[in-house]
Structure 1
Amino acid sequence: MPAIARAEDGDIWDVFARDRELANVDQSGNTASAMSLVDTIEPILSYDTAYNLQLAIQNYEAFVAANGSWELPERDWYGLKLGAKRKAVGALKRRLMINGDMPVQERIDNDFGNDLDAAVRLFQARHGLVINGAVDEATFYAMSVPTDYRLNQLRLNAQRIEQWASALSDRYVVVNIPAATVEAVEASQVVQRHNSVVGKVDRATPILNSKIFQVKFNPYWTVPKSIIEKDMIKYMNEDPEYLTKFNIRIFDGNGTEIPPTAINWQTNEAVKYTFRQDPGGENSMGHCKIDFYNPYAVYMHDTPQKSLFGENARFHSSGCMRCENIEELVAWLLRDNGGGWTPQSVMQAWEAGMRENIQLDVQVPIHTTYITAWANRQGTVSFRDDVYQYDAMGTVNFDT
């Protein structure tokens, strides 16, 4: 009996010690560390990235030659998170050691502690996922991609970046569609990085090289005919008050405003009219529109739907690009116009209702690109899903 009592006491203290260890895990610190390894100053579109990709390709080729493929997740990996203690944890650790997300350990236990929490968060950061430290659905899916597929991504994107890098200037903006991000680049360094929302699969954001020439403060939004036909008619049939709720007015060919009740919403009659949304908080472009030359009628803009920037897959638009914290990008674009624009003064102008179309004194190049794999000088390799299937088709040259 005394021996049993001592064993039970030991078990209790082990539990207490483990609870204390888990309580001291700095999850926010692990997230910050992961992001510091991913969001470095190298532009995603640069000769530096092209060089770093070649090093990554060599490493992946060597691994495939020696091992074939890394371990793919089993069903019991799903849902693993801090505090888990079972055999699947050890398998997850081995996989993340192979990926370089976790330091190699001689003895691998089955405890999901701080080291594995940090590793899962780094894996999530590298794949553009919501960072929560748990093997959720999106993380499980990303872990299920085999090694040879990732190696093919690296090779394709190395060729793409080599082609695009030749068109770069000292100062430019890059929209990477698969990552749904925007970078402002100057002197070969990223000075701003923003989450973005880009085109749906069936309304893809076009790939192009252009120049930003104008910023509009508190603009009207004229609804494209494609959106009237595909969306607006459906919304009005679902809710006849939709246009009124969102301050969208209808005008005929003479510029005369007509009421929604004048249109037969059971037909496509609506496409004959102009739909215009008033400036304000509900405007689909938010407080700002950034114009650049292109034949596709696309642009970059603010949005009232800020919550979309926190999603894993930010493919919701009809081809245009929404930009998080766009006031920072606007201040950077307008710096040569005088007036000492700052993000704060830009926001103040919007909130005061300023309506002005400001021409840039110095037009800034913009490149919308399709890069699903890249690497930085720290050796961190990032991947994104092939949302438009250009990797599947082996597309390298987009003829922009």
Structure 2
Amino acid sequence: MKKDFLTIGFMLFALFFGAGNLIYPPTLGIQSGTSFWPAIAGFVLTGVGLPVLAVAAVSYVKNDARELADRVHPLFGFVFTSMVYLAIGPFFGIPRAATVAFEMSMEPFTNGSALLLFLFTTVFFVLVYVVSRNPSKMVDRIGQFLTPVLLLAIIVLCVGGFMLLHSIPETPDEKYTQAPFFTGFVEGYLTMDAIAALAFGIIVVGAFKDRGVSSGTGLVKSTLKAGLVAGIGLTAVYTSIGWIGSRMAPEGSFSNGGAILSGAADMMFGTFGALLLGIIVALACFTTSVGLVVACGQFFHKMSGVSYQWIIALVTFGSYLIANQGLNTIISVSVPVLTFIYPIAIVLIILTFLHRIFGEAQAVYRGAILLTVVIALYDGLTEFGLEMPAVTSVMSYLPFFSLGLGWLVPAIAGGVIGYLFKRKPSAV
């Protein structure tokens, strides 16, 4: 049984550790400078703590994340969970992983071109489809074989950073000067891991069921243990590569986190460093893509009744088409959507653990989610570039608005109001 915790925990680590997990911590490190430690603490809270809680939340229900969202309303459950799976799947998550894998594993050795991206993504998605066809074997393939190789490569890179990078962190950028912890907290949204965990949770639960864990309490405990294995690994990696980023500021300007890591790898190990980083990126993005394809396949198969094999073929092909639009296009569209989805997911996860405390009242879910949706929709629209001066002047009175957490107090207020007017919930 202990081996199962480790194997499934390693699989979960590999599923989480993808494109965003590689490119955002180094960016945080170089921008936060001398404020690195509070900034990375905030980042870890949303980038590690919330995903582990989300996986555990899914273990409380019989089916998948839709059952959690259905506690608000069945229509909300259908719409929200579909948005989550499409966002982490073919629209953003999987294409982003493929393009990051290309830019950080192939471009250092080539000039890069649309043709090379096309060829790379063709091979990448064929392999993703092949591994995704049999979900029951995915745990062993990733947990026992790919993750140890990935971890070994990351350890070599991080140890090299601690031994060979001796620059002193610089003054933090403006956004990390006043409230580095909360800035890091919001930056953790960009990993997409908390919403991805709503999808990965059912894979973890299914893996433990395949190994004979059947009781509700047993599934929750087993899922938490596997989540802790993944969480410890993610925390160590985020802190290490973020620390590397904080030491790279004196070395020049970099376009993104990938460029920061590439520069650090080249400084430490030369051509071998670029090759090592390429292995890390390719494995990280591949394992995440496989997990997301499987999760989308299982969810939409259950929703539509269409064959799992057909669903993963559509998800893989759609991701392939969007990946060839390029990384910048994918990021520019994904950030506003994540800004909208993430607060709703956070509130839903927290309510799951408080479910019995407030008497399972459906009104609490509805009140908290309704006000969260209003604020999150405003935040998402402003990220798209839509200016609403009159609305902004009102929203600016919300506590924590300047920190990107304007939804927090309205969510609490909505839940309290719902509790005051609670009724016995209908069966979900």
Q: TM-score range by the shorter chain?
A: under 0.3
**Which TM-score applies when normalising by structure 1?**
0.24
Which structure carries more strand by proportion? 1
Which structure carries more helix by proportion? 2
Bigger relative contact order (CA 8 A; separation at least 6):
2
Bigger radius of gyration among the two: 1
